[in-house]
Chain A
Amino acid sequence: MLTIENVTKSFGGLTAVCGVSLQLGEIPITGLVGPNGSGKSTLFHMITGFYSVDKGRVFLEDREITNLKPHLISRMGLLRTFQHTRVLPFLSTLENLIAAAPLQRGESLVKLFLRPGAVRRDEKKNTEKAREVLETIRLQRLAEELAGRLSYGQQRLLELGRILMADPRVILLDEPTAGINPSLVRDLVQVIRGLTGGGIQVFLIEHNMPLVMELCDRVLVMDAGGLIFEGFPHEAVKDKAVIEAYLGKARDASKS
């Protein structure tokens, strides 16, 4: 349901992403891997509107979203996390979730004062939904805790919870398990798998290859701004171009 046509992005003289095309189709979980600097996060930023697209187009379902403002893309159901956790540290865990709910009528000043009943109903509905999500991500007992006090892994879980609050259709996760201790990784993986119910698709950047093999139905490999492989995870590790990309980087690293 996410289609990317030949997108390119350059910064000054450096081309970060070059002519990448892909389609998420009906696949539940797709992985995006590649050596550091291959343009994975840049691609994510371009899809979600945080970077402009120099050339090419991006489509969500049939609607073109190329270069739309990020908040509009998000409202269409394309949600994301960032490379480092970005919970709001001074709001409680519960408030972090409620804040993520879309279409809150109370965010309009006019409606706030002229339709207080509707605003109150929205708030009640969102609070209940937040409590349900808290149970899904197993952080109920931390509902009132300031999000800044949560462990890194718990914050990552909270970020997944936020996405659940926002009625996602396509979810982009940027290195969701990086830096998390293995016990919490299990929980995270379970939640990520759970995300794909109801036709929701997950597209994730990861460096943890065993995890990718286990979790992803399909894998895309990027190197130096271009897409060099598309297929099943077990095929990716045997592909010549992929091996060359990773080994090449290792060879360059050992030379310097």
Chain B
Amino acid sequence: MDYFYHILVIALIYVIFASSLNLELGYAGLYNFGHVAFFAIGAYTSALLSLAGFSPAASMAIALLCSAASGALLAMPALRLSGDYFGIATLAFGELARLFALNERWLTKGPMGLPGIPRPLGIEAGISGIPVYFIFTVTITVAVLLILRKTTMSPFGRALKVVREDEFVARAFGKNVFSLKVRAVAMGSLFAGLAGALYAHFVTYISPYDFSLNETILVLLCVVLGGKGTLSGPVLGAFVIIFFQELLRFLPIPTDWGRFVSPIQGMIYGAVLVILMLKRPEGIIPEHRTLQC
């Protein structure tokens, strides 16, 4: 039963993580493949601060701001790039961030990682604290979704869509495209950092290996499979992917074959991405009706 809570918490964290990417990718049309970097910044900032003695709650709050600020800062030069080159540049940035975490041992302890991250609000460490952490995470997730709902169903959200669909029209009608994009990335990075901080305090041990290309693919899959540009799409995607990912560990696989699980999962994820692009790029929950009569 505890393990079920564990999977739920991870799924909720990914709901936030995927929804934050969806704001940039689904609403603003910004293919930020380095999004995992802000997940990592949130995780590491919160972990380091709380290990240094700050209360975990305060650490998480500061981590949010750090992620948002770094997101905005990085966005500004990168936004000059067109769609796919923005994707590649952000991907390169994500990898740079991982290398930084791996090499700057004085800060991040490098490949050894950071163990013993305390839980917020006095929640107990270890397995006993999981159910309470679950309630904590649910509350935060609901709050995030409400905020995102208000944001996307507003004139701001509509302006983002205009920017996504046609930048020329956006400019011709007074929308400051650059400012809108920076704000979208700042907000996306803020919630990615929140997800990262939640992750760090949940698993209580993080290392650079938690923030690699695999996580980039995972979160991209959540958004693209669930349905980009919708509120419920990333939620559905996150639950589907995370439950698939975690429940696979439960299958009674003979130990000899244990090493096949991860590559097969990887192949499935890759194949799903390709098939989605070929057959149903809008995802399970489509954003709008098709134009066909």
Q: Which of A33-74 contact B (CB under 8 A)?
A: 48-50, 69-71, 74
B280 at the interface (CB under 8 A from A): no
B173 at the interface (CB under 8 A from A): yes
Please give the distance in Å from B146's CB to the nearest CB on chain A: 11
Using a CB–CB cutoff of 8 Å, the interface residues on chain A facing chain B are 48-50, 69-71, 74-75, 79-80, 82, 86, 88-91, 95, 98-100, 102-109, 112-113, 119, 122-123, 146, 148-149, 162, 166
List of A residues within 8 angstroms of B150 by Cβ:
112-113
B288 at the interface (CB under 8 A from A): yes
B104 at the interface (CB under 8 A from A): no
List of A residues within 8 angstroms of B169 by Cβ:
86, 88
- New A-B contacts (20) at CB < 8 Å, excluding given A71-B174, A100-B173, A112-B151: A49-B171, A70-B172, A71-B171, A71-B173, A79-B173, A80-B172, A82-B172, A86-B166, A86-B168, A86-B169, A95-B158, A99-B162, A103-B174, A104-B155, A107-B175, A109-B156, A109-B183, A119-B155, A123-B155, A149-B291
The reply to whether B171 and A106 form a contact with Cβ atoms under 8 Å apart is no
Q: How far does the alpha carbon of A95 sit from the alpha carbon of B288 in the complex, in Å?
A: 13
The reply to whether A75 and B291 form a contact with Cβ atoms under 8 Å apart is no
List of B residues within 8 angstroms of A123 by Cβ:
155
The reply to whether A89 and B291 form a contact with Cβ atoms under 8 Å apart is yes
7 A-B pairs within 8 Å (CB atoms) are namely: A74-B174, A86-B169, A88-B161, A91-B165, A99-B173, A104-B155, A106-B155
Q: Is the interface of B mostly helix, strand, loop or mixed?
A: helix
Residue of B whose beta carbon sits closest to that of A106: B155
List of B residues within 8 angstroms of A90 by Cβ:
165, 287-288, 291
Pairs A-B, 7 closest by C-beta atoms: A106-B155, A70-B171, A104-B155, A75-B174, A74-B174, A148-B291, A90-B288
The reply to whether A88 and B175 form a contact with Cβ atoms under 8 Å apart is no
B176 at the interface (CB under 8 A from A): yes
B289 at the interface (CB under 8 A from A): yes
- Of B151, B175, B289, the residue contacting A71 (CB under 8 A) is B175
Residue of A whose beta carbon sits closest to that of B229: A90
